[in-house]
Structure 1
Amino acid sequence: MSDDVLVACKLPHGIYLDMGKQRIKLNGIMQSGRVEAPFFMAPLNSVGLTKVPRDFWEAWIKEHQDFEPVKKGLIFASDKKKRLLDEADEKSDVKSGLERLDPSQLPKTLEQVQPGKL
């Protein structure tokens, strides 16, 4: 059994996990390598992946199981990368509320202001 687990994070810029004096930064969607121009949007099934020591992860998740991003399914882990990516596909509809707005799909009540026309 490996001493590490892979942790997936659907938050845009990741998050720091703290346990005692140890801190680990989880990569977010913006570090997934799947962000696409021109609006720097990632596919809905994108996740940031981070290798985390198993004992750290087990202690952290036990203490933070009621943390909203964990409860919503925005942070999850597995021993297998394929299993994580499959779970990310299943959770492609799960939103953090921090996603970028697609300028081509703005609400009709908003009006885009052209540069220099304020």
Structure 2
Amino acid sequence: MSTAEPTPQQDGDEELNKAIEQLKDVLHEEAPRGTGSAEAGSANHDLIMGIPVEVQIVLGTAEMPVSQLMALKKGSTVSLNRRIGEPVEIVVNGRRIARGEITLVDDDPSRFGVKLTEIAGGE
């Protein structure tokens, strides 16, 4: 009987979950009582808060055969799986953390942003 090998995606998700739990532990652990403990906790918090993460806004996805992909040229249109007005996904390091709607940036109407409408696991 063979055992199923975890896929690279499962391995990546497992690593990400483990890292998130470790970060939560560091951020929420109570510093031991004594001299310098508040500074050490603050230093850990500042260190973690300075870690860069990749944030992506996913407007939609498309699936097509390689032949159709290879036929794309300048001016081609790729139909996405979302319709106008549907929420976009906010993804951090490959994991969806929120959904939102496209909006114009108030101080620069030539740019757009995303207004969060739903936080994953939030209320």
Normalising by structure 2, report the TM-score: 0.23
For normalisation by structure 1, the TM-score amounts to: 0.23
Between structures 1 and 2, the one with greater helix share: 2
